[in-house]
Structure 1
Amino acid sequence: MQYQGVLTKMQTEIGEPIQYYLIFESDFIHMNQLLDKKLRIEFVGYQCLACRENKKIYRQGYCYDDFFNRPEVGDWVMRPELSTAHLDVEDRNLEFEKKVQLQPHIVYLANSSNVKVGVTRKSQVPTRWIDQGAHEAIEIVEVPNRYLAGITEVALKEHISDKTNWRTMLKNEIKDEDLVACKNKLKDFIPDEVKQYFVDNGKETELRFPVLKYPDKLKSLNLEKTPEFSGILKGVKGQYLIFDDNTVFNVRNNEGYVVRLTIN
């Protein structure tokens, strides 16, 4: 069975375990059904997610020009504290920025390789936690816009990490933490203008991933250096495919790449 299309981040559904879907323009693949099957990945070319032209991907699925012009990849996306739509100030496209920034956002703790603080739109819970490979997570505050979430994250990361160690996450070298206790310890460090949005009654969300075997060593697949790869799929975690020879492939990091997938 063979498929061809442009890679975008896998879509997910909450379940026991998480359900993963690779979506192409005219088809989709339920990745859970491919566990223990041989999968061949061939690099075909590029297709920018914005202009859809065959241009080399610069970052996040976009060609160079679109990465520096499209509102979807403005600096405020990675640094929420730079959001300005609440002030009616445009970065690249105020209409788009208002649509995204002026909606409820969550500041959370997630445990994937370690406990870290993060920000996401409320509509992206628990998708964001799944994409990070977190096996447990909890909400800290729910605020009405991205700016307030951003300044909260900046304040809290003085006291707790805001990074995930992807190698530790994929090896499953993790331990359960008391996220409620961690959350309560951080409460005093929340900015004054955000304290009213503290989520008092939150409880941990637990997530289980479809992995048959975790790797003990990691080899990251780079399609430009290795345009053809075959391996037996052993798991999916975060946005990574895990193969039997310890190769891991980050689907999200390869958005905009056109690939041919052959399933045996």
Structure 2
Amino acid sequence: MKHTGIIQGFVHQYDNPVQYRLKLDGEAILANEWIGKTIRISTLGRMKCIYCGRSIKKTYNNGYCYPCFTKLPENDLCIVKPHECHYHLGTCRDPEWGEAHCMIPHYVYLALSSGVKVGLTRKNNEKKRWVDQGAIRAIPIAEVPTRKIAGELEVYLTQYVADKTDWRKMLKGEVELVDLLELREEIYNYFLEEYKPYILKEDEWMDFAYPILEQIQKVKAYNLDKQPVIEDRLIGIKGQYFIFENGVLNVRKYCGYEVEVSE
């Protein structure tokens, strides 16, 4: 087995367990089949922007060249701080993109990844979002009309629920179990009047199982910039990570890197 290309991240199929495919250029390779095997990931010394394809010496925001990082709307600060969306001010980097991605229904949700967290995602994108975060269970608690409102509600709720995942605990499977339905009802008591019309009462949550052969005991992050060749036994995949016996690799972090993957 040998595959070469520019890392473009994972795509998922929501089976039990989740099926992961590694995107290298235009090829999406089933990575679950590598679990239990020793695989070798070698960087080839080249990088390309995952948007425009230009050759670069450094990536920005997980795979972009500097011009795309500074000009594309998906790289604006409001993507990581949705409550600071400035579409209504007429200053969006690309208003058409904003209409398609931000001025549409969004969910605010509760998820279990390391502990319980609050987050937001576009409606119909929730499965990808939850798997990317390594959540084992998640449930939407509100549906709002725009990304900005979702961001404002998320920020408001952080006084009651964390909005961060401890990635080390997530990868080790150290999840603090919480009854999401019970917590959701408790949180509704704190909703301001302006948010109450957006409350969701469905009792359906989603559970996710990940392809993990054995739990890693000590989490050490591999760094392809400092260690251009990784050769280790793959024991699982979760969130954005390959989990090896002796370390983990954040695949998203190295989008834009040209690599060779082999057994």
Q: Give the TM bin, normalised by the shorter chain.
A: over 0.9
Give 1:21's aligned amino acid.
R
Give the 5 Å matches for 1:1-264: 1-44=1-44, 45-55=46-56, 56-85=58-87, 87=88, 89-245=90-246, 247-263=247-263
SS in 1 for 2:74: helix
User: C-alpha separation between the residues in 1 aligned to 2:199 and 2:60?
Assistant: 38
User: C-alpha separation between the residues in 2 aligned to 1:230 and 1:72?
Assistant: 34
User: C-alpha separation between the residues in 2 aligned to 1:168 and 1:18?
Assistant: 19
For this pair of structures, how many residues does the alignment match?
261
Question: 169-178 or 235-244, which moves further after superposition?
Answer: 169-178
TM-score (norm. length: structure 1): 0.95
Give 2:183's aligned amino acid.
C
User: C-alpha separation between the residues in 2 aligned to 1:25 and 1:66?
Assistant: 18
Quote the offset at 1:151 in angstroms: 0.7
User: C-alpha separation between the residues in 2 aligned to 1:54 and 1:260?
Assistant: 17
Give 2:76's aligned amino acid.
G
Give 1:63's aligned amino acid.
C
User: C-alpha separation between the residues in 2 aligned to 1:14 and 1:51?
Assistant: 29
TM-score (norm. length: structure 2): 0.95
Give 1:204's aligned amino acid.
W
Assess if the C-alpha contact under 8 Å between 1:152 and 1:191 holds in 2.
no
Give 1:145's aligned amino acid.
T
User: C-alpha separation between the residues in 1 aligned to 2:99 and 2:4?
Assistant: 35
- RMSD of equivalent CA atoms: 1.3
Quote the offset at 1:88 in angstroms: 6.3
Percent of aligned positions with the same letter in both sequences? 36
Q: Residue by residue, what CA displacement relative to the aligned partner does 1:229-258 show, whole Å, maximum 9, x if unpaired?
A: 11111100001001122x100111111111
SS in 1 for 2:52: coil
Assess if the C-alpha contact under 8 Å between 2:237 and 2:243 holds in 1.
yes
User: C-alpha separation between the residues in 1 aligned to 2:178 and 2:146?
Assistant: 29
Assess if the C-alpha contact under 8 Å between 2:144 and 2:198 holds in 1.
yes
Quote the offset at 1:121 in angstroms: 0.5
Q: Which runs of 5+ in 1 are unaligned?
A: none
Q: Residue by residue, what CA displacement relative to the aligned partner does 1:56-115 show, whole Å, maximum 9, x if unpaired?
A: 112221122321221111111111111233x36232111111110011110001111010
Quote the offset at 1:31 in angstroms: 0.9
SS in 1 for 2:233: strand
Give 2:135's aligned amino acid.
A
SS in 1 for 2:9: coil
